[in-house]
Amino acid sequence: MKDLTQDYIPELHKDHVEWKKKLAFYDDELRIYKKQLADISAKNTSHDLKVMVEKFQNQFIIQKDEIDRLNHFINVNEDDLEKEVISNPVAIEHRKMDDDKTLRERMEIFAPLFEELKSEFQEFARKTF
């Protein structure tokens, strides 16, 4: 069951747009890190390094999956907003709709975890180049 509160439709839409921009940025960063990781892996053959490469590959897959899931949930919520606005376009800036707190919390948790992984990877990349 979703944990819901209420917020104004324009505020919910603004949050969705902001979140999607952030997720697109994280997705772009992941593509860059995957390329760097492939370069590191190609230039180094030590077993210990390969173990770390695999660890980061797995973490990048997990992060990409979470980005995809978050985008999906945002799209579902945005579709609900759109349906509400289409069905009753009067005074949308003064009406409230359900705000999925679980999604909001997942977004708040995702960013610091991603930043932590990013820092770990950047430190690893510095040491291997």
Q: Can you list the residues of the chain whose pLDDT is less than 50?
A: none
Q: Shortest CA distance to 62 belongs to which of 124, 113, 105?
A: 113
pLDDT digits over 58-83, tens only?
999 999 999 999 999 999 999 999 99
Q: How many Cβ atoms sit within 10 Å of the Cβ of residue 74?
A: 19
pTM higher than the cut 0.75: yes
Query: pLDDT value at position 113?
Result: 97
Q: What is the 3-state secondary structure (H, E, C) of the chain?
A: CCCEEEEEHHHHHHHHHHHHHHHHHHHHHHHHHHHHHHHHHHHCCCHHHHHHHHHHHHHHHHHHHHHHHHHHHHHHHHHHHHHHHHHCCCCHHHCEEEEEHHHHHHHHHHHHHHHHHHHHHHHHHHHHC
Distance CA 71, CA 19 (A): 8
